[in-house]
Amino acid sequence: MNNIEEIIPSTSQLKIKIFSDGADLDSIAEAYQQKVVSGFTTNPTLMAKAGVTNYISFAREMLKIVPDLPVSLEVFCDDFDGMRHQAHVLNSLAPNVYVKIPVTNTKRESACPLIRELAASGIKLNVTAILSLQQVRDVVGALKPGVPSIVSVFAGRIADSGRDPVPLMKQALEITNTVKGAELLWASPREPLNILQAERLGCHIITVTPELLAKSKNFGKSLDDFSLETVKMFYSDAVKSGFKILDND
């Protein structure tokens, strides 16, 4: 059996945990009620795009919708004292909160001392915006064994730079697995195939947007059927548009 015709599992058959990434409360509620994901993440950029104006009010509403699955909420101060304060505030909102800490601030100063401090105090962390193996090593070295934590490596952005993220993610997984309670997250996927790539590597978690999650329903679809659907789409759109090709055009 060649790779093109291999049997593709559905998302429900995968071992990897799928987290929904977004800030639309209706989409979050729908994903939670349908039990199609294992957790949720958001960030200030997604919240701004969704029109959120009050961070804490939004966070509380999100946690009402999702009372029992991991929810990652991100700090947004650029100084570490401010990050520390925001981390404690977010951590106090609910026991299922993971506090997202960027791997550095905008001055390229490492957040690892703060990560070490927060992890030592028992705060569940999601360390975000990681792109290099050295950052993975530094972050994992700052985590406390036994305290749940997520190491978010932006595989999609690595691919955007022209680099294959799979070898890096494989090494990142080996490093992350050295700390009990730490999980590797494949962040910023660009296409549904990334879900299967992360699954095959053994990554613990992948974040997906609602749009990518919807596309993953095509897993395992007959390629001939998919081809016919595409032809029908082209034909239907041409008819609706009223296009004509005349001899004298």
**What average pLDDT does range 25-30 have in this prediction?**
95
CA distance 70 to 63: 10
Please give the model's pTM, rounded to 2 decimal places.
0.92
Residue 197 token pair? 């790539």
User: What are the contacts of 28-33 at 24+ separation with CB within 8 A?
Assistant: 28/62, 28/65, 28/66, 29/65, 31/210, 31/213, 32/65, 32/66, 32/69
**What average pLDDT does range 12-38 have in this prediction?**
95
Give φ, ψ of 209 to 5 degrees: -75, 160
User: What integer pLDDT is reported at residue 202 of this predicted model?
Assistant: 97
Among 10-19, 66-75, 76-85, 156-165, the range scoring the smallest mean pLDDT is 10-19
User: What integer pLDDT is reported at residue 1 of this predicted model?
Assistant: 41
**What average pLDDT does range 107-112 have in this prediction?**
98
pLDDT for residue 160 is more than 90: yes
Of 100, 107, 170, 232, catalytic = 100
Instruction: Give all domains of the chain, ordered by start, each with its CATH number.
Output: 11-221 (3.20.20.70)
Residue 222 token pair? 């007959």
Residue 74 token pair? 């991100």
User: What integer pLDDT is reported at residue 3 of this predicted model?
Assistant: 53
Q: Is 100 a catalytic residue?
A: yes
CB 179 within 8 A of CB 145: yes
pLDDT grade, residue 246 (50/70/90)?
Answer: confident
Interval 194-239: pLDDT, tens = 999 999 999 999 999 999 999 999 998 899 999 999 999 999 999 9
DSSP collapsed to 3 states, the chain: CCHHHCCCCCHHHCCCEEEEECCCHHHHHHHHHCCCCCEEECCHHHHHHCCCCCHHHHHHHHHHHCCCCCEEEECCCCCHHHHHHHHHHHHCCCCCEEEEEECECCCCCECHHHHHHHHHCCCCEEEEEECCHHHHHHHHHHCCCCCCEEEEECHHHHHHCCCCHHHHHHHHHHHHCCCCCEEEEECCCCCCHHHHHHHHHCCCEEEECHHHHHHHHHCCCCHHHHHHHHHHHHHHHHHHHCCCCCCCC
Higher model confidence: residue 5 or residue 115? 115
Higher model confidence: residue 2 or residue 29? 29
